[in-house]
């Protein structure tokens, strides 16, 4: 007998992944969180039936969401991850010479599940440079001022509980929480399946930050494989690594990929100009 | 009641697309060919239950497989498409000032289906510059000598009937069929799901052509979204458009995307070095 997990990735589109077993599942106050064992993808974390991360392809997502902003800053010392309870973003940020990484995750159970079942992703959550706060990312960011060189919004998609993480009020709080030359990045979904959302968030970021942009990367288990990240910067250029900065041992990111990721297909450029089909 | 088409895209991975109806289906001597109507993707052509092309995302594939080699040649006059019975590659090649495009497709029924049901893709098959031959692409290429500036191998995947289109003998015939400064390109599948195949074909091409390379693009309905194209060139550089060449009205391709597509993530570079996981 075969078991298949199926996600409704967009209207009229489903992706199914064969599952060998459930490692752990729980109903949290916020969502249903499950870690499954799969043959193709290793361990897989789903929240409310949406794939968040798999051991096999998470490097593409976590390297791109972290190293582009981290390498755009000439000397990032303090970073904040909003969401990201699986620990993958923290792991990547710690490849840079940072002094401190804060992580604020609303759902403690996600951290627990990842620690127990996804060690290759969560392995750095207990690093001494990391401070984990369980709480609302919006409130946490509002209480911070001039505090971070880099903020990574590693959230679920802009529907449901995370919708506030893509709104103007939160983006203004992010700006205040950044140091004077800080940068922030958020995952902003599929430009092919959800062009309106990508265009809307980019429009907000563009109106708030001195510099803004969108870059693309691939994540095979996310809808359509093509994924967008929106970046807002207080001062630094971000389309090329600062001063030849690089990261050892990456599998997706490289300085060349950093630059190439900002080259957008014309159909994506049109979305950013507010001209989505 | 809902109807869903499901494709087994890789071991342990299925993609399902909601279907509103079947426009036409037929058993040909080579395969089962179906054109379905879908809400999300418009018309969709499947061969033996594998998605070949959809009206909504085909531009990403056809623009990248055609314009990279066509723009790398300073003045392409004669082109050959092997496979490509839906007509999408012919349509894109005709955006360049070519004198003649030959298309050799083994399965006449695919052309018929596309002409009747996918006019936005097949619309240029009856252009006076196009000559269609129904027959075996391998034999057709073997009989050509010093004939083409660009050859596009727009085939099904390197399993089943198309396997010969990825072998050394065929690649040597391609080389003879090219003019002295010609280029060829083949779609070579997903580096994430089928790294061994990408590495093997690239190794063959590298051993036969003076210049060789791999570039990447996105195709949302193909496994993982990240797709590879392998290029072999007799003389011209291909990582940048020749002499500022460009194509008007594209939605995915641009000169910047052309250059960016050759920037490969380290995990893909390792595959090409024969070092697949």
The partner residue sitting opposite A13, judged by closest CB among B17, B251, B253, is B17
Q: Please tell me the total count of domains within chain B.
A: 2
Residue B17, domain CATH: 2.30.140.10
Tens digits of pLDDT across chain B (277 residues) = 899 999 999 999 999 999 999 999 999 999 999 999 999 999 999 999 999 999 999 999 999 999 999 999 999 999 999 999 999 999 999 999 999 999 999 999 999 999 999 999 999 999 999 999 999 999 999 999 999 999 999 998 776 667 788 889 999 999 999 999 999 999 999 999 999 999 999 999 999 999 999 999 999 999 999 999 999 999 999 999 999 899 999 999 999 999 999 999 999 999 999 875 5
Query: Which residue is it, tokens 């096999």?
Result: A56
Shared-domain flag, residues B115 and B67: yes
Q: In Å, how far are A225, B15, B158, B222 from B195, measured between CA atoms?
A: 16, 20, 12, 15
Shared-domain flag, residues B210 and B267: yes
Q: Do A40 and B259 touch (CB under 8 A)?
A: no
CB atoms within 10 A of CB B4: 12
Cα–Cα distance for residue pair A93/B213, rounded to 1 Å: 32
Phi, psi of B138 (to 5 degrees): -65, -45
Domain assignment present for A277: no
Residues of A in contact with B267 (CB under 8 A): 59, 251-252
Shared-domain flag, residues B25 and B91: no
State which residue of chain A sits closest to B39, comparing Cα positions: A12
Q: What is the ipTM of this complex?
A: 0.95
Cα–Cα distance for residue pair A101/A122, rounded to 1 Å: 14
Q: In Å, how far are B64, B80, B136, B147, B170 from A60, measured between CA atoms?
A: 22, 36, 39, 42, 34
Shared-domain flag, residues A251 and A196: yes
CB atoms within 10 A of CB B56: 18
Q: Do B250 and A263 touch (CB under 8 A)?
A: no
Domain assignment present for A79: yes
User: Catalytic residue at A107?
Assistant: no
Full-model pTM? 0.96
Residue B135, domain CATH: 3.40.50.150
Shared-domain flag, residues B50 and B68: no
Cα–Cα distance for residue pair B205/B158, rounded to 1 Å: 15
Catalytic residue among B154, B157, B275, B277: B154
Domain assignment present for A219: yes
Shared-domain flag, residues B13 and B32: yes
* Boundaries of domain holding A22: 3-54
Shared-domain flag, residues B135 and B190: yes
């Amino acid at each position: 007998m075969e078991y298949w997990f199926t996600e409704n990735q967009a209207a009229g589109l489903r992706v199914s992944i064969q599952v060998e077993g459930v490692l752990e599942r729980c109903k949290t106050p916020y969502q249903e969180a499950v870690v499954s064992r799969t043959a193709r993808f290793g361990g897989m974390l789903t929240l409310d039936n949406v794939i968040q991360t798999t051991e096999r392809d998470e490097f593409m997502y976590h390297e791109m969401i972290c190293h582009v902003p981290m390498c755009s800053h000439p000397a990032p010392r303090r970073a904040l991850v909003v969401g990201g309870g699986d620990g993958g973003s923290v792991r990547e940020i710690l490849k840079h010479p940072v002094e401190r990484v804060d992580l604020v995750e609303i759902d403690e159970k996600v951290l627990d599940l990842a620690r127990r079942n996804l060690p290759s992703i969560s392995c750095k959550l207990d690093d001494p440079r990391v401070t984990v706060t369980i709480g609302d990312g919006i409130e946490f960011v509002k209480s911070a001022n001039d505090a971070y060189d880099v903020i990574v919004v590693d959230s679920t998609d802009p529907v449901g509980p995370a919708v506030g993480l893509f709104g103007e009020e939160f983006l203004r709080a992010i700006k205040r929480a950044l140091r004077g030359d800080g940068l922030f990045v958020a995952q902003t979904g599929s430009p092919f399946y959800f062009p309106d959302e990508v265009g809307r968030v980019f429009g907000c970021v563009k109106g708030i930050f001195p510099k803004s942009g969108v870059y693309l990367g691939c994540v095979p288990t996310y809808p359509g494989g093509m994924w967008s990240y929106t970046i807002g910067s207080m001062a630094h250029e971000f389309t090329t690594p600062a001063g030849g900065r690089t990261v050892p041992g990456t599998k997706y990111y490289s300085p060349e990929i950093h630059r190439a990721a900002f080259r957008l297909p014309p159909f994506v450029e049109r979305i950013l100009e507010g001209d989505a089909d």
